[in-house]
Chains A and B, each alone.
Chain A
Amino acid sequence: MEAVRRVASLWRLHVLVLAFTIAAELVGIVKIPIGIGAILLLPLLYSFVLGLLANPNITALGRKFIGSDEVKAATPLIVIAIMPFIAKFGTTIGPAIDKIISAGPALLAQEIGNLGTIILAFPIAVLVLRMGREAIGATFSIAREPNIAIIADKFTLKSKEGAGVLGVYVVGTLAGTFIFAVMASILATTGLLDIRALAMACGVGSGSMMAACSGALTSAMPSMEEEILALAGASNLLTYATGLYIGLFVALPLVNWAYKVLRGAEDEGAAQRDSADKPANRKQEG
């Protein structure tokens, strides 16, 4: 009963979400053709934007509806609200188990592709944008909760590495669904890569990013919906199971090493100056 009372006390929040869900679903999927393909706008993107617009921390309008206590209470709801979605994905994997098994080698191999964050983003962060050790936290993973835990454990979140991982976490939270919807819809409509490969790549260990990604793929290719969902869901499950360990034992040591290679001598001087200012902030290396 206590639990029911707690949920009921947030009725204003739930009513807003109800209104946003209805509005978003009534608008439905909108397709914007661009030169090389099309960008698909999905209802989940509208409901997110409506949520931002009604957020009292962001707009004055939002303060009319809900208070900052309710904003705080909304955070744990996100994780719970994605669970039926995860369950639905499970029910698409079971019946397609034969297809999953035949795609098994590709499915396993593409988990390594999650290290693409290091290959693509790390050199840009260090060499082009001239970032310091923030680059390590920012690029070793896609900065979801387990990855934040790794950085918090190794460097604390007050460190430069911590600032990096939190920065990407926030940007991913704010824009990740958009970025995935855009990437997936462009790649699916250009037809350069196998749609099943694009589906597997959707499983990055984030429910909302997977939703946007696989939603864009199924909207681009409705005839393959069942297979897309099964492969994306299977890949996401693999990432849930392996992501933490790959982050901890492969990605973080790799990016640490790469940082030393690219920045070695230059950074040592900086680190000494830093530690002379604030000895307590000295970071563990390696």
Chain B
Amino acid sequence: MSAVTRPHIDLADHAAVLFVVSALCLVGNTVGPGNPIVGGLIGIAILYAIVMAGLALAKWVPFYLPSVAWISIVGIVITLPGVPGQEWIVAQTGNVNFLILATPCLAYAGLAIAREEIEIAKTSGWRIALVAVFVLAGTYLGSALIADLVLSLQGA
């Protein structure tokens, strides 16, 4: 499909960046929620391995899926009930608080805002900002209302 260009993935580059990010996550996981450092270290090492496996799949599998989708799939498959070592993996990654994993990412995001983006925000003005709020509210409410309806129809 012409709308999708399959991005090139440099595994060495990703491995190096992920090492730094994982270290940041470990610090956050220890100072914030106060998780045990050794358990957190093992948990984050497992997440690191899942990410690298997902990236390798995204690079080499002949059909295209975004790397984040592959990473999700690897994480799901190795923690499915009945998979060998599943309990241990779930216990170890349980030492990592999920919210802390987003904290370094958002700091990079704040630092990465470019001049062009500030210009776009300025020229598009208040109308686009208002529309954006309704866009986000629309997708959230739309999905939540449908899910709520179907759940109650199911009686689940």
Contacts and interface: CB of A to CB of B under 8 A. Distances in A.
Contacts of B74: 87, 90
B103 A24 contact: yes
A129 interface: yes
Contacts of A17: 24, 104, 107-108, 111
Contacts of A6: 13, 16
A112 interface: yes
A107 B149 CA distance: 11
A47 B139 contact: no
Interface in B101-156: 101-115, 117-118, 120-121, 124, 127-152, 154, 156
Given A54-B111, A116-B138, A116-B143, A90 B71 contact: yes
Interface in A169-204: 170-177, 179-180, 183-184, 187, 193-194, 196-198, 200-204
Given A43-B103, A85-B101, A196 B111 contact: no
Contacts, number: 441
* Chain B, interface SS category: helix
Interface residues of A, number: 139
A248 B5 CA distance: 15
Contact of B98 (A88, A115, A116): A88
Contacts of B90: 91, 94-95
A107 B144 CA distance: 10
Contacts of B86: 94-95
Interface stretch (A117-125, A262-270, A278-286): A117-125
A32 interface: no
B141 A120 contact: yes
Contact of A171 (B2, B44, B132): B132
Contact of A143 (B32, B96, B135, B156): B135
B104 A21 contact: yes
A91 B79 contact: yes
Nearest to B118: A57
Interface of A: 2-4, 6-7, 13-14, 16-18, 20-22, 24-26, 28, 42-45, 47-55, 57-58, 66, 68, 70-72, 74-75, 77-78, 80-95, 97-98, 102-103, 105-107, 109-121, 124-125, 129, 131, 134-135, 138-139, 141-143, 146, 149-150, 153-154, 163-164, 166-168, 170-177, 179-180, 183-184, 187, 193-194, 196-198, 200-204, 207-209, 211-215, 218, 229, 233, 235-237, 240-241, 244, 248
Interface in B61-79: 65-69, 71-79
* Chain A, interface SS category: helix
A193 B120 CA distance: 36
A86 B72 contact: yes
A274 B5 CA distance: 31
B108 A89 contact: no
A137 B78 CA distance: 39
Q: Which of A18, A26, A187 has the most CB of B within 10 A?
A: A18
